[in-house]
Amino acid sequence: MTGALIIPGADQSRRYDRAYPGITQPAVSKLALHSTETSAKWGCPGYSGGASAPTATIDPWNFRTWQHFPATMSARALLNPTSTAVSENRDNVAQLEIIGYSDERYGKQYGSNLRDLPDAGYAYLARQVAWFAVEHPVPLRRPALWPAYPASYGNSPARMTSSEYAAYTGLLGHLHVSGNSHGDVTLDIDRLIAKAQALVTGTKGIVSTVEASKVTIARFQRAIGVDDDGIWGKETDKQAKALRNYLAPGRRTSQWDDKRGWRHVFAKGGKGSAKAARRSIQWALGVKTDGDWGPKTDAAWLAFRDDALDR
């Protein structure tokens, strides 16, 4: 049975379904998250009069939502190239643009850096996600790989093939969608899902220390490109130590470290790849993401590994 079409409390003044009517999808089984790459102080983007609009735009800084299309109508924020076997905008997907920056450079310049989204912003965003989970329902799950921008851009290992995209159900980012190159959205997806799940189940969203540790380890594993099972095993430890050798200045590396380094941080090598790798790992460690492996980053890495080994 089809769920509700109107998001509760959403501003309906910027609807585009008359100017750009899409198809009515038989279901909504996946929720694609984007970032607008704009500041909250500029309000809702214009989306070229609706030509590139998502299902809804969410401002988690000022707690406001604009709905552009009914929940099950196909939106227009994804590329839909003829080279792919699936119609990306029409494959049982609803699309949420989150106001803010995945590109940290502009987030620092203009504000609304999604890496700095406060807890209240996550709570507001979780309300919209939970609504889709209840009404349609979209499973509260995410792909195994969710790298941070800029490592997420282009044809990273997180990018799905057409068949993978067609078969997938749950939350995903623009960075996962087949036939696209965008690297958004960079946020703490596990934190968002935990809050949405708490709303759906009616719990307080409190997890045990062990469960919280697994979530943190899994986020770090995604940053270094290993299986994110939340367990600090031999493979995770091996790759983490190798990456420290590769990324920390002044440490000895081998030719194998160079190859393994770029492969496991979702970069193609060349200028800037090591800096992007450091930024992704710093984000996972919860330290300043300046792309420089200094004493604070190294201390955080060592403390994180010691804690993980104790679990």
DSSP code per residue over 16-43: -TTTS---B-S---EEEEEE--S-GGG-
Task: Give residue for tokens 């769920």.
Answer: 3
Asked if 32 and 173 touch (Cβ cutoff 8 Å), the reply is: yes
268-286 pLDDT, tens digit per residue, is 334 445 676 777 777 777 6
Asked if 196 and 58 touch (Cβ cutoff 8 Å), the reply is: no
Q: For residues 187 and 132, give the distance between their C-alpha atoms in angstroms, rounded to a whole number.
A: 19
Task: Give residue for tokens 């076997």.
Answer: 85
Q: For residues 64 and 10, give the distance between their C-alpha atoms in angstroms, rounded to a whole number.
A: 7
Instruction: Domains for the chain: give ranges and CATH numbers.
Output: 30-201 (3.40.80.10), 209-310 (no CATH)
Q: Say which amino acid occupies 204.
A: K
Q: Is 144's pLDDT higher than 70?
A: yes
Q: Is 10's pLDDT higher than 50?
A: yes
The edge-to-edge listing of strands for the beta sheet with 170-173 is: 64-67, 56-59, 93-98, 30-35, 170-173
Average pLDDT over residues 179-187: 96
Q: For residues 305 and 299, give the distance between their C-alpha atoms in angstroms, rounded to a whole number.
A: 10
Give the SS3 label for residue 256: helix
Lowest mean pLDDT among 36-40, 173-177, 179-183, 203-207: 203-207
Q: Is 287's pLDDT higher than 90?
A: no
**Residue 21: pLDDT band with limits 50, 70, 90:** very high
CA angle, 187 then 228 then 96, to 5°: 30
Q: Is 232's pLDDT higher than 90?
A: no
Q: Is 132's pLDDT higher than 90?
A: yes
* Packed helices 295-310 and 273-285: angle between N→C axes, nearest 10 degrees: 50
Q: Is 234's pLDDT higher than 70?
A: yes
* Packed helices 234-247 and 273-285: angle between N→C axes, nearest 10 degrees: 130
Q: Is 311's pLDDT higher than 80?
A: no
**Residue 305: pLDDT band with limits 50, 70, 90:** confident
Asked if 275 and 237 touch (Cβ cutoff 8 Å), the reply is: no
DSSP code per residue over 220-268: HHHHHTS---S---HHHHHHHHHHHHHHSTT----HHHHHHHHHTTT--
